Structure 1
Amino acid sequence: MLSVEDLRKSFTTDRGELRAVQDLSFTVEDGRFYTLLGPSGCGKTTTLRCVAGLERAERGRITIGGRVVSGNGTFVPPQSRGIGMVFQSYAIWPHMNVFENVAYPLKVAKPRPSKEQIAAAVQEALVLVGLEGLEQRPAPQLSGGQQQRLALARALVRDPKLLLLDEPLSNLDAKLRERMRIDLRELQRRLRITTVYVTHDQLEALFLSHRVAVMQEGRIAQEGTPREIYGGPASGFVADFVGMGTFVPADVTASGVRALGRVVVCEAPGDLAPGAKAHLVLRPENVVVRERPTAAPNEFEGTLRVVAFLGDHLDCLVEVQGEMIRARAHPATRLARDQTVWVEMPPDQCVVLADDGFRPRPLARSFADE
């Protein structure tokens, strides 16, 4: 198990002190995949580096497997923490072949395993990541995906208690990144190795993780399962960062919220009294676009301002009462710009958040050609 308690880390810049991590606490249970998700500069990589021992926190305690490795006057160096780590750049040694890269952590370990033990451990790690048979290939001759697998094999070869991954898929093309997501998830579930993953990619976080911590300005804005984070965001920032959505200004009523010129039937949080300012958050996949009206609740007439074909769906912007509503439609649907359409917002798919001052960037009226 990994435990991080009241972690704080600052850096001195030309603009003064920058507090990268602010009193951060979280726990990762044994065998679980935990992701630190957030935009650039939110403190996620600094947190990971503190866990690895590559940065010294000025406050807080880090415990790995019941052993304090940082805090209370203790600082255990990285090589003695029982961790494996994959960096964003992979850090593959170009003057070594595949076998030598994976074997290196064992060769410098104390006590050093025997030659036979090293060979067996390297072979096992290469089989795990699908690189068996490439032991003698020079590292520079590997593809991007193979280099990522090599870095993962090197991180696993010492059978670490904790695996740390710092945006390991960000340098791969989209198709390969999707394949590696699947492989990484399957490998982690099979090995049941406790894993902390850092990314700014929401899809990666939702797909890979048992639990996700969304970070904002050095703090955790919300922690939960992928479904909890996506379906029940705790703030405007989380709703906007994790997935796409439309924010519609609203006022809470007894039966829902008043937005788009009328009452929208939905369930508002219990702590929001009638009259409170709020936002109605609509995920595009939950907004139904029709060419004709029906008797469905929360159905609004609007004008289709943008329709973009994206292969598996149509990405649409519908203007309703001066607000731009983003929606998705089946790719076979025949829709045209400036067409009158009806959009439905199912009551159980409407998310209502208190107006906390967060303002997402407005949706453009035109983001793609028809």
Structure 2
Amino acid sequence: MTPEHLLTRYRHLVGTLAALARSSHAVGAVVETVHQQASSLFAAQVTLLALLTPSGEWRWDLYEGERRYRQHLPYSPDGVMETALHGGPLHIGDIEAYLAAHPQRARRLVSDEVVILDLRGEAEPVPPPDSPPTRSMLFVPLEVRGRPAGVLSLQSYAPHAFDDTDLQFLELLAQHVSIALENAALREELERASHTDPLTGLPNRRAFGEAAARALAASAAGEEGPLSLVVLDIHHFKHYNDTLGHAAGDDVLCQVGEVLRRSAEHRGAAYRLGGDEFALLLRLPAAALGAWAREVGAALRAASWPPGVEGVRLQAGASAVTPDLTVREWLSRADARLYQAKRAREPGAGVEWGVDL
């Protein structure tokens, strides 16, 4: 490689690193940037970013031309990917020759649905891929916060498409990819924290406001089916704090939050707005809320409460989505019905669950 060629390549690398810095707001954007920039640095048609998940499996993000595939694959101690993760950079000139000489497992994505888990012993027929299989490969391990986090791989359909200089450039690029991934992970953690209630783990008021705004916009565009906003609070919650202490009160909030979270599964989401006030966005018509409320009441009666806490009850107000509302108006309408429900809880009223529609 001539000095002029090296200089040109370094310039491309600097441009790639600058693009990485701009894309470090999300993990998906990082691998997309690497793939977009790789053609100016390498004779590669495929970019693969494989990251270890908290559960110990792989999450593959693979780019091939304009197509993107994502798969979760099991960790295999004898795999090529695992060899690179723990053993260092790997340059494979021809995967078929490499597997003939090394007792390792290589996996291949055929499509979003089809994965060959072991190229050595695949006996089942698979659909022909839309593009030829890759033959030559570079693998470089990635570290995030000083720990092995994944592998960056560039691949070509042609055998022996890469040389040692390519591997050195990829190692340098991988260091910056690791930094970009760490920055992206920090941003995503901050984003999650800013949308999550730290006590109950439910989405918080900010998350509710954004979700409600999206729901109203979808309704205005005619894209949203039946949707109800339910606002709830805990009957006489102050009593638990005053008589049993704030720790017991926190336990009550967490248990109520869990009951509401489960009640919203597959039909919406639950949010903690603050204090003892919760909200739910449910893909249910108003006529179905009575049955839903009875389910919640049964779950409250079956829940485990702190010592001294008995008969936790909720009161709620509900409002169906209409496209002419703002988030503030929608919430105010449900709040007004919540206070109607509270008034219905006067002694002798006999109201156990105060949903007012």
Normalising by structure 1, we get a TM-score of 0.28
| Rg larger for | 2
